[in-house]
Structure 1
């Protein structure tokens, strides 16, 4: 995600700042973010190892004391501010980016930065970070703690779907309560594709738009949304869409989440690869 769109920036800053304040106060008082949660994620398995965190990059990435960098599987947190590097310009923090990092730091501080690391089904991402599920020493999912307070969103990247059910349920509760990021219109209801995608969008995003066309080849289903945004569903993801007639999506409004990729051609300006049916919902069917 990125900073709020110009057309919502006037409506959200006070609520966003107030949400960060309330979260920090609640954590300082020792309130458990999952108090009263209906769905608890499974405890770590036998493959989980004990580790110590040396540094927290942001709300979804940590560096362990042995030098390994670990990306929290199954979630994506708002971006923190980044300084200019080589030919990449500096970028500001997104709403709740700093709060998400502070929340992860606070969770870890309670156990003196000790945690349990459960390897994901896919070992590393394209940046060389280990994909893993993190737990407190007592077995509580750290991904779930962040989602419970609206400080991250669930993402679905097979084969790392081990906690998809419990993380989805936790996010739905936070979304319904408009906690954290869910008070930001770019997450709820999502970026309206008809208005155009901001050029500086960062990380994972949620988009919402009407389907104008659907084209299927032997290897890919292309779902074109208004505003020249295309959802790219590869054949390997089709089994998760069992029973879905993609052609029936024409004229309907979809809400999709994933990583937006600039891809200017005659059909689209932006492309969003979709690897799981969990990443797409019909708006009128939510």
Structure 2
């Protein structure tokens, strides 16, 4: 296994990506960082806590990969601390402003400079995965582009087993992962249309196989993005989100940023 070295400040801050349109957002508030709680969460000098939205750093957890996840989690936290503790950050809220724990959900910019987007710098070095939520998905697109580059270069977590994608055709790979984030790739076997939901089925045994579902209220986002959910039948796709237990492993897809079409027509 490749050694995962601590990434210093000099390597963490990278130049801005091109073609990001309206992203990254402009910072709206300046704060000072007191500590890095983990690889995606910061404690501020005024006592508030910031959760860096759209990036998910590894967290220490039990299981066969416990040593690896603990090491990667500490690497991400150390790199973030080296980059930002004692410095000013500009914050920009682009969706829901707080989570249920009262943490600020924001994009962050070193020294308030919009060209020094912290989320992008974390993803570039393979320190986290990109995720998207129904109420907080702006600017996920540019981060996915950076994640793809980091994955191709086997940076950070992408050089380890944590960077392995689950196979949507092998639901046993998702056994025991309920409640955990995953990126799942596979071919859509069929698409089921129901009044309240659309189902992407990755097998024929719907009580055991992996499934992705989209609720009726979320379908308009896919229409706006010119994604025909029914047309995904037979296509190879990549979906990201938290694994649910819905008569077999499932992901609730709420927005197009969770979906990548892997094959080409």
TM-score, scaled relative to structure 1: 0.75
1:37, CA displacement in angstroms?
4.6
Local SS of the residue matching 1:121:
coil
Which residue of structure 2 lines up, in the alignment, with residue 282 of structure 1? 261
Matched, 1:262 2:238: no
Superposition deviation, residue 272 in structure 1? 0.8
Query: Contact 2:16–2:117 at 8 Å: present in 1 too?
Result: no
2:26 corresponding residue in structure 1: 44
In the TM superposition, residue 285 of structure 1 has moved relative to its aligned partner by 3.2
Aligned residue pairs: how many?
249
Query: Displacement, 1:201?
Result: 5.9
Task: Tell me the distance in 1 between the aligned counterparts of 2:179 and 2:236.
Answer: 23
Q: Which of 183, 203, 221 is residue 240 of structure 1 equivalent to?
A: 221
Maintained 8 Å contact 2:177/2:243? no
| Superposition deviation, residue 72 in structure 1 | 1.0
Match of 2:194 in 1: 217
CA contact (8 A) 2:141 2:257 kept: no
Q: Residues 281 and 37 (structure 1 numbering): CA distance in 2 closer, same or farther, change over 3 Å?
A: closer
Task: State whether structure 2 residue 129 is matched by structure 1 residue 153.
Answer: yes
With over 3 angstroms needed to count, the CA separation of the structure-2 counterparts of 1:217 and 1:255, relative to structure 1, is same
Could you tell me how far apart the structure 2 residues matched to 1:43 and 1:244 are? Answer: 25
1:191 to partner: Cα distance: 0.8
Q: Distance in 2 between matches of 1:246 and 1:56?
A: 40
The one of 128, 151, 163 aligned to 2:102: 128
Looking at structure 2, the residues matched to 117 and 138 of structure 1 have their Cα atoms a distance apart, in angstroms, of 8
- Within the alignment, does 1:163 sit opposite 2:162 as a pair? no
Q: Distance in 2 between matches of 1:210 and 1:133?
A: 33
Does the CA contact (< 8 Å) of 2:12 and 2:125 recur in 1? no
Q: Distance in 2 between matches of 1:106 and 1:171?
A: 21
1:3 equivalent in structure 2: none
Structure 1 ranges of 4+ moved more than 6 A = none
Once residues 136 and 198 of structure 2 are traced to their aligned partners in structure 1, the CA distance between those partners, rounded to angstroms, is 22
- Say if 2:35 is the partner of 1:68: no
Note the aligned Cα RMSD (angstroms).
Answer: 2.7
Find 1:99's aligned residue among 75, 80, 92. Answer: 75
What TM-score results when the alignment is normalised by the length of structure 2?
Answer: 0.81
